[in-house]
Amino acid sequence: MDRSVAWRAALLLALCVAALAVALGASLPRTFFEDWGWAAGPGAWALSALVAAAVLRLPPFAVLIGAALSGLPMLLGVATGVHWLGAPLGLAIFGLWCGRLSARRAAGGIPAVA
């Protein structure tokens, strides 16, 4: 486990998702999120994960798998009406996933991204 990469991945994801949420919230009407929030949220999470993958030089597809798995705790929040309930847990899971990917890459298990 590469703890440095884990922390940086979680922080990058949080910052990117927050920036996208502010930008989208400021530029789009509430009705957009009522109709398209099911796509905008996961799309922002995935796009932010790809940014983290690029910055940390991790394999994008493997990072997207981690992003999908780490986004699952947020379904509980959505189901209970507390949208951001699962975000802290999701960020921690994503960070751990990326830290493990980095350690596996350093050990020769995953090829480095060009």
- pLDDT, mean of each 10-residue run, the chain (114 residues): 94 96 92 85 94 96 95 83 82 95 79 52
Question: What is the rounded CA–CA span in Å between residue 44 and residue 14?
Answer: 11
Domain count, the chain: 1
pLDDT of residue 39: 84
Six-digit token pair at 88?
A: 């802290």
Buried b (16+ CB within 10 A) or exposed e, 54-83: eebebbeebbeebbeebbebbeebeeeeee
Q: Distance (Å, rounded) from C-alpha 113 to C-alpha 86?
A: 30
Structural domain span for residue 49? 3-106
The pTM of the full predicted model, rounded to 2 decimals, is 0.85
Predicted confidence at residue 16, as pLDDT, reads 96
